[in-house]
Chains A and B, each alone.
Chain A
Protein backbone atom coordinates (compact mmCIF):
# COMPACT_ATOMS: atom_id res chain seq x y z
CA UNK A 1 0.00 0.00 0.00
CA UNK A 2 1.21 3.49 -0.80
CA UNK A 3 1.92 5.71 2.14
CA UNK A 4 2.14 9.00 0.33
CA UNK A 5 0.30 11.66 2.38
CA UNK A 6 -1.62 13.16 -0.51
CA UNK A 7 -1.98 12.64 -4.14
CA UNK A 8 -1.40 15.98 -5.74
CA UNK A 9 -2.03 16.92 -9.27
CA UNK A 10 -0.42 14.12 -11.19
CA UNK A 11 -2.63 12.05 -13.42
CA UNK A 12 -2.23 8.90 -11.40
CA UNK A 13 -4.03 5.91 -12.82
CA UNK A 14 -7.17 4.74 -11.10
CA UNK A 15 -6.35 2.02 -8.61
CA UNK A 16 -7.44 -1.40 -9.76
CA UNK A 17 -9.56 -1.77 -6.65
CA UNK A 18 -11.20 1.41 -5.43
CA UNK A 19 -10.77 2.23 -1.75
CA UNK A 20 -13.61 1.69 0.67
CA UNK A 21 -15.44 4.48 2.36
CA UNK A 22 -18.01 4.67 5.12
CA UNK A 23 -21.43 6.06 4.37
CA UNK A 24 -23.95 6.82 7.06
CA UNK A 25 -27.31 5.15 6.67
CA UNK A 26 -29.24 5.31 9.96
CA UNK A 27 -32.14 3.07 9.15
CA UNK A 28 -34.31 1.10 11.50
CA UNK A 29 -34.43 -2.52 10.56
CA UNK A 30 -37.94 -3.83 10.61
CA UNK A 31 -37.95 -7.49 11.31
CA UNK A 32 -40.10 -9.53 8.96
CA UNK A 33 -42.37 -10.45 11.86
CA UNK A 34 -42.77 -6.80 12.81
CA UNK A 35 -43.87 -5.99 9.30
CA UNK A 36 -46.53 -8.70 9.36
CA UNK A 37 -47.62 -7.70 12.86
CA UNK A 38 -48.05 -4.12 11.74
CA UNK A 39 -50.34 -5.28 8.92
CA UNK A 40 -52.29 -7.50 11.29
CA UNK A 41 -52.73 -4.64 13.75
CA UNK A 42 -54.11 -2.44 11.00
CA UNK A 43 -56.56 -5.17 10.00
CA UNK A 44 -57.68 -5.64 13.61
CA UNK A 45 -58.26 -1.92 13.95
CA UNK A 46 -60.23 -1.71 10.72
CA UNK A 47 -62.45 -4.55 11.85
CA UNK A 48 -62.95 -3.03 15.30
CA UNK A 49 -61.73 -6.10 17.14
CA UNK A 50 -59.70 -5.70 20.32
CA UNK A 51 -56.92 -8.26 20.48
CA UNK A 52 -55.39 -9.57 23.69
CA UNK A 53 -52.45 -11.96 23.80
CA UNK A 54 -51.62 -14.08 26.83
CA UNK A 55 -48.07 -15.03 27.70
CA UNK A 56 -46.71 -16.94 30.69
CA UNK A 57 -44.69 -19.96 31.66
CA UNK A 58 -46.30 -23.37 31.13
CA UNK A 59 -48.78 -24.25 33.83
CA UNK A 60 -49.49 -20.76 35.12
CA UNK A 61 -53.17 -21.12 34.34
CA UNK A 62 -53.56 -19.39 30.98
CA UNK A 63 -56.09 -21.84 29.62
CA UNK A 64 -58.21 -22.00 32.76
CA UNK A 65 -58.19 -18.23 32.96
CA UNK A 66 -59.06 -17.87 29.30
CA UNK A 67 -61.87 -20.43 29.54
CA UNK A 68 -63.37 -18.48 32.41
CA UNK A 69 -62.92 -15.20 30.55
CA UNK A 70 -64.53 -16.52 27.36
CA UNK A 71 -67.45 -18.08 29.20
CA UNK A 72 -68.22 -14.88 31.10
CA UNK A 73 -67.72 -12.59 28.12
CA UNK A 74 -69.74 -14.66 25.66
CA UNK A 75 -72.93 -13.36 27.28
CA UNK A 76 -72.36 -9.77 26.22
CA UNK A 77 -69.64 -9.76 23.58
CA UNK A 78 -68.59 -11.58 20.46
CA UNK A 79 -65.38 -13.33 21.43
CA UNK A 80 -63.05 -15.89 19.90
CA UNK A 81 -59.68 -17.41 20.70
CA UNK A 82 -56.56 -18.77 19.08
CA UNK A 83 -54.44 -21.03 21.19
CA UNK A 84 -50.85 -22.04 20.55
CA UNK A 85 -49.12 -25.20 21.68
CA UNK A 86 -46.34 -27.37 20.36
CA UNK A 87 -48.68 -30.32 20.06
CA UNK A 88 -52.23 -31.54 20.83
CA UNK A 89 -55.50 -29.66 20.51
CA UNK A 90 -56.39 -30.30 24.16
CA UNK A 91 -56.52 -26.60 24.95
CA UNK A 92 -58.79 -25.80 22.02
CA UNK A 93 -61.10 -28.58 23.16
CA UNK A 94 -61.16 -27.11 26.67
CA UNK A 95 -61.79 -23.60 25.44
CA UNK A 96 -64.53 -24.74 23.06
CA UNK A 97 -66.60 -25.53 26.15
CA UNK A 98 -67.15 -21.79 26.35
CA UNK A 99 -69.22 -22.14 23.14
CA UNK A 100 -67.20 -19.59 21.20
CA UNK A 101 -65.05 -19.98 18.08
CA UNK A 102 -61.66 -21.44 19.02
CA UNK A 103 -58.80 -22.54 16.86
CA UNK A 104 -55.67 -24.41 17.84
CA UNK A 105 -52.32 -23.47 16.34
CA UNK A 106 -49.81 -26.28 16.74
CA UNK A 107 -46.30 -25.01 16.33
CA UNK A 108 -44.50 -28.35 16.13
CA UNK A 109 -41.12 -27.62 17.60
CA UNK A 110 -41.39 -23.86 17.69
CA UNK A 111 -41.51 -22.32 21.15
CA UNK A 112 -43.65 -19.28 20.34
CA UNK A 113 -46.32 -17.92 18.01
CA UNK A 114 -45.39 -15.63 15.15
CA UNK A 115 -47.50 -13.09 13.32
CA UNK A 116 -47.57 -15.28 10.20
CA UNK A 117 -49.16 -18.14 12.15
CA UNK A 118 -51.83 -15.84 13.52
CA UNK A 119 -52.44 -14.53 10.03
CA UNK A 120 -52.88 -18.05 8.64
CA UNK A 121 -55.13 -19.16 11.49
CA UNK A 122 -57.44 -16.20 10.89
CA UNK A 123 -57.82 -16.86 7.18
CA UNK A 124 -61.39 -18.17 7.35
CA UNK A 125 -62.66 -15.97 10.16
CA UNK A 126 -64.41 -12.69 9.55
CA UNK A 127 -62.85 -10.28 12.01
CA UNK A 128 -65.81 -7.92 11.74
CA UNK A 129 -67.90 -10.56 13.52
CA UNK A 130 -65.76 -10.18 16.63
CA UNK A 131 -65.44 -7.69 19.47
CA UNK A 132 -62.53 -9.44 21.19
CA UNK A 133 -59.96 -11.91 20.00
CA UNK A 134 -57.72 -13.69 22.49
CA UNK A 135 -54.44 -15.26 21.47
CA UNK A 136 -52.97 -17.71 23.96
CA UNK A 137 -49.27 -18.02 23.24
CA UNK A 138 -47.18 -21.12 23.80
CA UNK A 139 -46.22 -21.41 27.47
CA UNK A 140 -42.78 -19.83 27.45
CA UNK A 141 -41.36 -16.74 29.13
CA UNK A 142 -38.51 -16.18 26.71
CA UNK A 143 -39.17 -16.24 22.98
CA UNK A 144 -42.74 -14.85 22.83
CA UNK A 145 -41.40 -11.55 24.12
CA UNK A 146 -39.65 -10.89 20.79
CA UNK A 147 -42.64 -11.56 18.55
CA UNK A 148 -45.27 -8.92 18.08
CA UNK A 149 -48.57 -10.54 17.08
CA UNK A 150 -50.38 -7.32 16.29
CA UNK A 151 -52.18 -7.44 19.62
CA UNK A 152 -53.58 -4.36 21.34
CA UNK A 153 -52.76 -5.64 24.75
CA UNK A 154 -50.23 -8.17 25.98
CA UNK A 155 -51.12 -9.81 29.24
CA UNK A 156 -48.42 -11.62 31.18
CA UNK A 157 -49.62 -14.15 33.75
CA UNK A 158 -47.73 -15.14 36.87
CA UNK A 159 -49.17 -17.74 39.20
CA UNK A 160 -48.69 -17.57 42.95
CA UNK A 161 -46.96 -20.97 42.87
CA UNK A 162 -44.13 -19.76 40.65
CA UNK A 163 -42.12 -17.58 42.98
CA UNK A 164 -42.20 -13.83 43.38
CA UNK A 165 -38.85 -13.28 41.67
CA UNK A 166 -39.89 -14.56 38.25
CA UNK A 167 -40.13 -11.04 36.81
CA UNK A 168 -36.47 -10.53 37.68
CA UNK A 169 -35.47 -13.82 36.08
CA UNK A 170 -37.40 -13.18 32.88
CA UNK A 171 -37.42 -9.39 32.62
CA UNK A 172 -38.03 -9.03 28.87
CA UNK A 173 -41.42 -10.72 28.81
CA UNK A 174 -42.60 -8.52 31.67
CA UNK A 175 -41.04 -5.49 30.08
CA UNK A 176 -42.97 -6.02 26.85
CA UNK A 177 -46.30 -6.69 28.59
CA UNK A 178 -49.06 -4.12 29.08
CA UNK A 179 -50.81 -5.73 32.02
CA UNK A 180 -49.71 -8.33 34.57
CA UNK A 181 -52.15 -10.86 36.01
CA UNK A 182 -51.37 -12.83 39.14
CA UNK A 183 -53.28 -16.11 38.90
CA UNK A 184 -54.29 -18.92 41.27
CA UNK A 185 -54.94 -16.44 44.07
CA UNK A 186 -57.01 -19.13 45.82
CA UNK A 187 -53.66 -20.86 46.55
CA UNK A 188 -51.85 -17.73 47.73
CA UNK A 189 -52.12 -18.50 51.41
CA UNK A 190 -51.20 -22.17 51.07
CA UNK A 191 -47.95 -21.33 49.26
CA UNK A 192 -47.25 -18.25 51.42
CA UNK A 193 -47.26 -16.00 48.37
CA UNK A 194 -45.69 -12.61 49.08
CA UNK A 195 -47.89 -10.29 47.05
CA UNK A 196 -45.99 -7.12 47.89
CA UNK A 197 -42.70 -8.66 46.73
CA UNK A 198 -44.28 -9.87 43.49
CA UNK A 199 -45.77 -6.43 42.80
CA UNK A 200 -42.50 -4.72 43.53
CA UNK A 201 -40.54 -7.07 41.23
CA UNK A 202 -43.01 -6.63 38.39
CA UNK A 203 -42.91 -2.87 38.82
CA UNK A 204 -39.11 -2.86 38.79
CA UNK A 205 -38.90 -4.38 35.33
CA UNK A 206 -41.95 -2.57 33.99
CA UNK A 207 -42.61 0.58 36.00
CA UNK A 208 -46.23 1.64 36.17
CA UNK A 209 -47.69 -1.55 34.72
CA UNK A 210 -51.20 -2.41 35.85
CA UNK A 211 -51.26 -5.49 38.06
CA UNK A 212 -54.44 -7.51 38.55
CA UNK A 213 -55.17 -10.59 40.65
CA UNK A 214 -57.48 -13.44 39.84
CA UNK A 215 -58.59 -16.90 40.78
CA UNK A 216 -60.03 -18.74 37.80
CA UNK A 217 -61.23 -21.40 40.22
CA UNK A 218 -63.39 -19.30 42.50
CA UNK A 219 -63.87 -16.38 40.14
CA UNK A 220 -62.44 -13.68 42.37
CA UNK A 221 -61.00 -10.80 40.39
CA UNK A 222 -62.77 -11.80 37.17
CA UNK A 223 -65.24 -8.92 37.23
CA UNK A 224 -62.45 -6.39 37.63
CA UNK A 225 -60.58 -7.96 34.70
CA UNK A 226 -63.64 -7.86 32.43
CA UNK A 227 -64.36 -4.28 33.40
CA UNK A 228 -60.79 -3.37 32.60
CA UNK A 229 -61.00 -5.09 29.20
CA UNK A 230 -64.26 -3.44 28.22
CA UNK A 231 -62.90 -0.05 29.23
CA UNK A 232 -59.72 -0.67 27.24
CA UNK A 233 -61.69 -1.56 24.13
CA UNK A 234 -64.04 1.41 24.51
CA UNK A 235 -61.09 3.75 24.96
CA UNK A 236 -59.53 2.43 21.82
CA UNK A 237 -62.67 2.58 19.73
CA UNK A 238 -63.21 6.12 21.01
CA UNK A 239 -59.67 7.06 20.08
CA UNK A 240 -60.19 5.67 16.58
CA UNK A 241 -63.40 7.50 15.87
CA UNK A 242 -62.30 10.74 17.51
Chain B
Protein backbone atom coordinates (compact mmCIF):
# COMPACT_ATOMS: atom_id res chain seq x y z
CA UNK B 1 0.00 0.00 0.00
CA UNK B 2 1.44 3.31 -1.07
CA UNK B 3 0.28 5.18 2.04
CA UNK B 4 2.49 2.93 4.12
CA UNK B 5 5.42 3.26 1.71
CA UNK B 6 5.12 7.01 1.62
CA UNK B 7 5.02 7.31 5.39
CA UNK B 8 7.89 4.85 5.76
CA UNK B 9 10.06 6.99 3.49
CA UNK B 10 9.23 10.10 5.46
CA UNK B 11 9.97 8.34 8.74
CA UNK B 12 13.30 7.15 7.46
CA UNK B 13 14.25 10.56 6.08
CA UNK B 14 13.52 12.21 9.40
CA UNK B 15 14.86 9.48 11.60
CA UNK B 16 11.58 9.41 13.44
CA UNK B 17 8.83 7.00 14.30
CA UNK B 18 5.24 7.61 13.26
CA UNK B 19 2.29 7.80 15.59
CA UNK B 20 -0.36 8.83 13.08
CA UNK B 21 -0.93 9.42 9.39
CA UNK B 22 -3.35 12.17 8.36
CA UNK B 23 -5.14 11.58 5.10
CA UNK B 24 -7.62 13.57 3.04
CA UNK B 25 -10.12 11.35 1.29
CA UNK B 26 -12.59 12.49 -1.36
CA UNK B 27 -15.77 10.66 -2.36
CA UNK B 28 -14.47 10.45 -5.95
CA UNK B 29 -11.10 8.96 -5.03
CA UNK B 30 -12.32 5.44 -5.65
CA UNK B 31 -11.31 4.45 -2.14
CA UNK B 32 -13.87 3.50 0.48
CA UNK B 33 -13.14 4.86 3.93
CA UNK B 34 -14.33 1.80 5.84
CA UNK B 35 -12.30 -0.54 3.65
CA UNK B 36 -9.21 1.63 4.03
CA UNK B 37 -9.52 1.79 7.81
CA UNK B 38 -10.14 -1.93 7.91
CA UNK B 39 -7.03 -2.79 5.94
CA UNK B 40 -4.72 -0.20 7.48
CA UNK B 41 -3.69 -2.23 10.48
CA UNK B 42 -2.91 -5.22 8.29
CA UNK B 43 -0.91 -3.13 5.85
CA UNK B 44 1.12 -1.61 8.67
CA UNK B 45 2.01 -4.90 10.32
CA UNK B 46 5.74 -5.44 10.29
CA UNK B 47 6.54 -1.88 9.18
CA UNK B 48 7.58 1.23 11.11
CA UNK B 49 3.91 2.17 11.04
CA UNK B 50 2.82 -0.76 13.12
CA UNK B 51 0.54 0.53 15.86
CA UNK B 52 0.04 3.92 14.22
CA UNK B 53 -3.33 5.56 13.67
CA UNK B 54 -4.87 6.56 10.36
CA UNK B 55 -6.80 9.79 10.70
CA UNK B 56 -9.09 10.41 7.75
CA UNK B 57 -10.51 13.78 6.85
CA UNK B 58 -13.56 13.39 4.63
CA UNK B 59 -13.42 15.87 1.79
CA UNK B 60 -16.52 17.37 0.21
CA UNK B 61 -17.14 17.50 -3.51
CA UNK B 62 -16.41 21.06 -4.52
CA UNK B 63 -16.63 22.33 -8.09
CA UNK B 64 -16.21 25.71 -9.66
CA UNK B 65 -19.19 27.32 -11.37
CA UNK B 66 -18.17 29.27 -14.44
CA UNK B 67 -21.31 31.38 -14.26
CA UNK B 68 -21.25 32.29 -10.55
CA UNK B 69 -17.45 32.50 -10.68
CA UNK B 70 -17.44 30.74 -7.34
CA UNK B 71 -16.64 27.41 -5.80
CA UNK B 72 -19.67 25.46 -4.69
CA UNK B 73 -19.96 22.43 -2.46
CA UNK B 74 -22.12 19.77 -4.07
CA UNK B 75 -24.54 17.89 -1.83
CA UNK B 76 -24.07 14.64 -3.75
CA UNK B 77 -22.26 13.12 -6.68
CA UNK B 78 -25.59 12.62 -8.40
CA UNK B 79 -25.71 16.12 -9.68
CA UNK B 80 -22.85 18.19 -11.00
CA UNK B 81 -25.07 21.20 -11.40
CA UNK B 82 -24.38 24.44 -9.57
CA UNK B 83 -26.62 24.53 -6.45
CA UNK B 84 -27.03 28.29 -6.97
CA UNK B 85 -27.75 28.67 -10.65
CA UNK B 86 -28.04 25.17 -12.13
CA UNK B 87 -25.12 25.51 -14.52
CA UNK B 88 -23.33 22.21 -15.29
CA UNK B 89 -20.01 22.13 -13.49
CA UNK B 90 -17.01 20.39 -14.98
CA UNK B 91 -14.21 22.03 -13.03
CA UNK B 92 -13.66 19.87 -9.98
CA UNK B 93 -11.80 21.53 -7.09
CA UNK B 94 -12.13 18.88 -4.35
CA UNK B 95 -13.45 15.36 -4.18
CA UNK B 96 -10.77 13.18 -5.72
CA UNK B 97 -8.28 13.49 -2.87
CA UNK B 98 -6.21 10.62 -1.63
CA UNK B 99 -3.59 12.81 -0.03
CA UNK B 100 -1.35 12.28 2.91
CA UNK B 101 -1.37 15.73 4.46
CA UNK B 102 0.61 15.27 7.65
CA UNK B 103 2.35 12.82 9.92
CA UNK B 104 2.43 12.79 13.65
CA UNK B 105 5.99 11.84 14.36
CA UNK B 106 8.09 11.15 17.39
CA UNK B 107 11.74 11.97 17.06
CA UNK B 108 14.13 9.20 17.84
CA UNK B 109 15.32 9.34 21.39
CA UNK B 110 18.07 11.85 21.87
CA UNK B 111 20.92 10.61 23.98
CA UNK B 112 21.74 13.10 26.67
Q: What is the interface of chain A, defined by CB distance below 8 A to chain B?
A: 13-14, 16-32, 35, 145-147, 168, 171-172, 175, 203-208
Contact = CB atoms under 8 A, between A and B. Distances in A.
Q: Summarize A's interface: helix, strand, loop or mixed.
A: mixed
B104 A30 contact: no
Interface string B69-86: 000000011111100000
Given A22-B103, A25-B100, A168 B109 contact: no
A25 B104 contact: no
Q: Summarize B's interface: helix, strand, loop or mixed.
A: mixed
Contact of A14 (B6, B101, B106, B110): B110
A22 B56 CA distance: 15
Contacts of B79: 204-205
A121 to B, nearest CB: 22
Nearest to B99: A28
Contacts, number: 96
B80 A205 contact: yes
Nearest to A167: B78
A206 B111 CA distance: 58
Nearest to A145: B30
Interface of B: 1-3, 6, 10, 14, 19, 22-23, 28, 30-31, 76-81, 88-90, 98-112
11 contacts: A17-B109, A22-B103, A23-B103, A25-B100, A26-B100, A28-B98, A28-B99, A29-B2, A29-B6, A29-B99, A31-B31
9 A-B pairs with least C-beta separation: A207-B88, A146-B30, A171-B77, A29-B98, A18-B107, A20-B106, A14-B112, A204-B79, A168-B78
A207 B100 CA distance: 29
Contacts of A171: 76-78
Contacts of B105: 20-23
A21 B104 contact: yes
Contacts of B106: 17-21
Contacts of B109: 14, 16-18
B87 to A, nearest CB: 9
Nearest to A32: B2
A172 B81 contact: no
Given A25-B101, A207-B90, A13 B112 contact: yes
A20 to B, nearest CB: 5
Contacts of B108: 18
A175 B77 contact: yes
A5 B77 CA distance: 48
A172 B28 contact: yes
Contacts of B110: 14, 18
Contact of A31 (B2, B77, B103, B112): B2
Contacts of B80: 175, 204-207
Given A13-B112, A18-B109, A32-B2, A207 B102 contact: no
B78 to A, nearest CB: 5
Contact of B78 (A20, A21, A145, A204): A204
Contacts of A205: 77-80
Nearest to B25: A29
Contacts of A19: 106
